[in-house]
Amino acid sequence: MSLILVADDEENIRSMVCGYLDKMGFRTLAVNDGFQAMDALESAHPDLMLLDVMMPGLDGFVLAKILMSRSTVPILFMTARTEESDRVLGLELGADDYISKPFSLRELTARVQAVLRRTHRREPTPAPPRQETKTTRWKDLEVDLESFRAKKKGTPLELTTVQFQILALFLNFPGRVFSRLQILEEVRDTSFAGYERTIDVHVKNLRKALGDDVKEPRYIETVRGIGYRLGE
């Protein structure tokens, strides 16, 4: 099981990244600055390092220069900087990949797996696969995961990609309550900042597409203080 070192001075990002990677079958170790990352490299021997560029004391770029002379551990930069020059600098320093914030946790995981494959390191133990069929039905709703289509009473629904992903998630796990954070991790166009508002908007629009009654929902229920689930 691969060990991923996550170095970022923002606690919420460290928590979200580590929590998701742990769920996906990795082991993680979180530190909040470059000096701690150096110590962890020597003591824990991680398989890959996720480095924030803008850390206090010792930023990611400076740290990468030091690490390249001491270790062959692959590096993936995480940063809010979006300028091309910064991406080029990171890669020129020897980083294996570079991802800009805000990013999808799914995309980050895919990049981690790709870097590990490219560097011929041991593959992480994958999370147990969900038991999904190509077509899932619930009441008069139907989603086809292969053709990416949804129907209500046999009539096609006009859904955005995110709305389809949310509906498919609910239909695959009827009765299960999903928090906004869990829904966030299943969709691809959301960000860390303001995610609750974003998910609420997507669910509101999905309800509208389904013709659901907010006061007496037949399809999607709000579980106060937690999130959403399919109706009874």
Distance CA 52, CA 60 (A): 6
Mind listing the pLDDT tens digit for each residue in 64-91?
888 777 778 888 888 876 666 666 676 6
Neighbours of 102 (CB within 10 A): 13
Distance CA 16, CA 34 (A): 19
Q: What pLDDT was estimated at residue 120?
A: 55
pLDDT band at residue 108 under the 50/70/90 scheme? very high
| pTM listed for this prediction | 0.51
What CATH code would you report for 3-118?
3.40.50.2300
**Phi, psi values for residue 144, rounded to 5°:** -110, 110
Mind listing the pLDDT tens digit for each residue in 44-65?
999 999 988 888 777 788 888 8
Its CATH architecture, for the domain 135-230, is: Orthogonal Bundle (1.10)
Strand (E) positions, 127-223?
A: 135-138, 141-144, 149-152, 155-156, 178-179, 220-223
User: Is residue 90 a contact partner of residue 96, using CB atoms and an 8 Å limit?
Assistant: no
Mind listing the pLDDT tens digit for each residue in 143-196?
988 788 899 999 999 887 778 888 988 988 888 888 887 787 776 443 334 445
> Does residue 214 or residue 21 have the better pLDDT?
21
Domain ranges of the chain: 3-118, 135-230
DSSP state of 32: S
**DSSP string for 139-159:** TTEEEETTTTEEEETTEEP--
